[in-house]
Every structure is written in structure tokens, then in C-alpha cells.
Chain A
Amino acid sequence: MKNAQVKIEFRNVSKTFIQKETQKVHVLNNINLSVYENEFLVILGPGQSGKTTLLRIVGGLESPTTGEVALDGREITAPGPDRSMVFQTYSLFPWRTVLGNVEAGLRFKGMAKQQRRQIAKKYIELVGLNGFETAFPHQLSGGMKQRVGIARAYANKPVVLLLDEPFGQLDAQTRMLMEKEIIRIWEEEKGTVVFVTNNIDEAIYLGDRIVILEGKLPGRISGEYKVNLPRPREHTDIEFLKLRKKIFNSTELIL
């Protein structure tokens, strides 16, 4: 990633939540991080390490207590159509069909029906859900729901895709299949991806680069690993396992 352009930049970002008016929870401590253009960055950390908060700050759903996060040099203050998020709990609109969910963002923009149908159909096909356009989310399995989540995120044509433990609720087999799928889709669509997970294997399988958030609040960056393995990667590849061991030994991740 030498000479690559910086897409997102965290400068001394700290976040403190105030609970019940008096109790303060220090979630992130002095985060400095650059995410490069077209990079697949994985933020790896155990539960309670502030990684979701980090992602929500990029999304504009939270604002940092101190410091700032900039996208293309402009400070992030609110959600915007240049960023899309895929949620751990899917957060699909249960009252909309697959098609309705995927085109929701385009509808908010006020795009004409014909045009947004066309775009939505393209992304439904990209995630492999053709034939399910008229299904409601409750009729889909977890893996299929998250496919809708991914199609919905891409349909908005974001500059940055944010994924918050998107496969955390899936069973092991579906999870591995979805990891393969997200790489396939990313290679087709390109763009910058920030992927949050607590799973070392997932991190190594997906990331160009892995940033470790240390456990126990407040979260802080405790390591960074480049993953120079060619894709598609194999979980049992010797280099894969070496890196896995290295990350495992050097961090206090309890996974």
C-alpha cells in the first residue's frame, strides 16, 4: 500500500460515553489510523474493545469526544451517502421485501422507480439472491439476510463500506461461505472496506491489513499486520497459519 492515497484518517480519536448522567465509560483512547484507498482493512479485537464504536464514528452515527476522523480530508460529522454500513444484526426493514430493502437508500435520494429497480436488481443478482426479490426478511435464513444487507449497502454506491461483525450471527459453514462471497463482491465492486471482527481466521482470510484493538476498555491500537497472501486464501495454508500464530501469541485476544 505504498504511495496509496489515504482515504480515512483518525487523528487522536478518543470517545467517552456518559451513562446515567454521571458514570463515564472510556471506550476509545487516542486512536491514530489511516485507511488507504481500495484497501480491505480489518479491525480485529475482542468484545468490549470499542471496535464497533470506532466503526460507528466513521459512519457518522457517533462523534468522537476528542480528535477527529476525516474522509478524503473532510471531517466526518454525520452519516452520508458516501458511506454504507452492514450491521451485525442485519437491521433490514422487516416491512420491506428484499427488493424494497435494497432500493431503500435510492428511494431516500429520490431516485425514480424505474432507475432504482434496475440498480437494486443488479445488486440482488451480485449477491446471488435472484428469485427472492419479493420475499420478506423473516422468510430468509441468516446468511441470506446478510446478503440483502450487503446488496443494500452497495446499492448506494458508497466510497467506503463499513461492516460491523457482519457474520457474527451465522453458523461456521455459512460464515466461511459469506467470507468467500464478500471477497468476490469486493473484487468486483472495489472500493475501501473497513471490516470489524473478533475472529482471527476471518481477519486473516479477508484483510489486506489487520489492525488489532486491545481488549478491555478503553480500546487502543496495539498492533498492525500486513497480510501479503494471494487470494483466494486457504485457512490451512502454512503462511496463513504462521500469521495466525503470530497474531495469537502477540495479543491478549481471548477468542
Chain B
Amino acid sequence: MALQTRATTIPNRPQPPRRLIKFLFSALGNRYFLYTLSVVMFLAFWDLAAVKKVLGNFLPRPIEVLSQLLSLNTEPLASKTLFEHLWASIHRVLIGWAIGVSIAVPLGIFMGLNPYVRAIVKPVFDLLKPMPPISWISLSILWFGLGEESKVFIIAIGSFVPCILNSYNGIRLIDPALYDAARMMGANRRQEIIEVGFFASAPAIFAGLQISLSIAWSCVLAAELVGSRSGMGFIIILGMNQSSPALIIAGMVVIAITACLISVLMDRLEKMVCPWKRELPQ
């Protein structure tokens, strides 16, 4: 009561310091403000490190990277613009991924469904599985030369492994009670496989496609680092050969943005293709 009367009797004069603190606190509670702050501080530290030459002459300022990015659009490198290089990489990824996936998914499904296919494929697959796809680069160049084929081969190998694993496990880990339910409702073997096998494993298979696409994207860069005249990997190697860190970082930024877009796109696609929630067996 006493407080209230005082508040009404004393004119409500602005109190700058307190208001500033209040504003700061409300700003700190705002997620987007913190996000912006985080990015701005990162760029500021980067800029400071570049200006103070913490890493010698090989750390460009953020603004230099940005101008490099912009000039890449207009001044072609090795007679290709940035967009054409990006497309060269994406093109390889799509072909390699499509090949890898179109072999891996059916093979994984058959491994899950048929014990004989599993017994024949699994031991060899288990041997090949732990080999990093990039370790195939030398062999692939010896077999297919420096052209497109060797890059596509690496990407296909990289996409193959997570895809076959997810398809196989997707089928294998289906709750047997779902098969029981289908059989009790009068499904024959074919209907069982289509209704339960296909749908129940779809989210896992889709997850496999997603993982393999992101692995394919890192494989293409590795493949392009060795003997290539186009692609994002080539831009990075060119940056190294020209001692131009701005070019390297510009390439890295484009690669990261592309990878980000791919995963967002795949997430959207998954929600469209599998609108239900995945239920694992208990």
C-alpha cells in the first residue's frame, strides 16, 4: 500500500541506467538476439585474428572471403564460374549416389528378408564395411583413370555402405507383432511384405538415403582433390596452389551451405514420404 502511494506521488522520471540493464536482460532472454550475438562475435574474433596475423598471412579477413565469393560468380576459374563448379560436384554426387543406392537398397532389403541372401552377402560386406570410402581413391584412379568414372565410383562406394546397413536393419528390426497383426487380418505373404515390410522399414531406409547423401557429398570433395579440373574440391586445391586462403574458405563456405540445404531438403522430403512417427519394437 505504502509503495503504491509513493509510486503515484513521485513523478515517474526515466532512470537511464536501470532501463538499460532491463533492456539488456530482456535482450539476453531473446534467442535470436543471442544467435546474432554469437555469429557477430565469431566474425569479430576471426577478423581480429586475421588483422593481428595470428596465423601468419594465411588467414583472410571475413570481408575478403565475401568479396572472393562475389568475384567467383563473375570471374571464371579454369573457364568455369562458381555455379558451374558447384554443379559439376552436385552432378557427380547425384550419379554416384544414385548408382550406390540403387544397388544397396534392394540388396539390404533382400538381406533382411532372406536368410540365404544374408548368409552370402553379409560376410563380404562386413569385411568391406569398415574401409573408409576415401581409401579407395588410389585404386579407383588406377582402375578408372582421372576422369569422371573414378569420382563416381568413390561416391557410389561411400553411399553404398550406410544405405545397405539401414535397409537391412530397417527390415530386420521390424516388430514381429506387426507381421502377426497383418496375418491375423488375413494378409497373404505378398501383402505382408508390401504392407508391413515396405512401410515399417521406409523410415529406416530413408534415413539411410539421407546419411549416404551427406557421405557422398564429402566423398566428392575428396575425389576432386586428386586430379580434377572442376568441382568444389578443385576450387579448394586451386586455393592452396595459388596460396589464396580466401579462395579456400570461400569454397568451404559454399560446400557447407550446400550440405546444409541438402539435409534440410531431405528432412522435408522425409516428412512428406513418411508422415507417421517411427515406432521401434519394444
Contact = CB atoms under 8 A, between A and B. Distances in A.
B192 to A, nearest CB: 9
B274 A95 contact: yes
B183 to A, nearest CB: 5
B185 interface: yes
B200 interface: yes
Contacts of A83: 184
Given A104-B195, A108-B191, A85 B275 contact: no
B190 to A, nearest CB: 10
Nearest to B199: A95
B277 A94 contact: yes
A206 B277 CA distance: 34
A93 B197 CA distance: 11
Interface in B255-282: 274-279, 282
A68 B86 CA distance: 69
Contacts of B124: none
A61 B186 contact: no
B199 A61 contact: no
B186 A94 contact: no
B177 A87 contact: yes
B181 A93 contact: yes
Nearest to A88: B177
Contacts of A113: none
Contact of A89 (B184, B200, B277, B282): B282
A84 B180 CA distance: 11
B178 interface: yes
Interface string A114-148: 00000000000000000000001110000000000
A91 B180 contact: yes
> Which interface residue of A59, A91, A109 has the most chain B CB atoms within 10 A?
A91
A152 B177 contact: no
A95 B201 CA distance: 11
Interface in A37-92: 59-61, 79-81, 83-85, 87, 89, 91-92
B184 A95 contact: no
A79 B186 contact: yes
Contact of B177 (A59, A89, A95, A137): A89
B187 interface: yes
Contacts of B178: 91, 93
A82 to B, nearest CB: 9
A136 B186 contact: no
B121 to A, nearest CB: 24
Given A104-B185, A105-B186, A136 B177 contact: no
A91 B185 contact: no
A156 interface: yes
> Which interface residue of A83, A84, A95, A96 has the most chain B CB atoms within 10 A?
A95
Contacts of A136: 275-277
Nearest to B184: A85
B202 interface: yes
B181 A91 contact: yes
Interface in B173-225: 175, 177-178, 180-188, 191, 195-196, 199-200, 202
Contacts of A87: 177, 180-181
Contact of A108 (B175, B177, B185, B276): B185
Nearest to B177: A91
B195 A109 contact: no
Contacts of A93: 178, 181-182, 195-196, 199
B177 A94 contact: no
18 contacts: A59-B184, A61-B184, A79-B184, A81-B186, A89-B175, A89-B282, A92-B181, A93-B178, A94-B276, A94-B278, A95-B199, A95-B274, A96-B199, A104-B182, A104-B185, A104-B195, A105-B186, A136-B275
Interface of A: 59-61, 79-81, 83-85, 87, 89, 91-96, 104-105, 108-109, 136-138, 152, 156
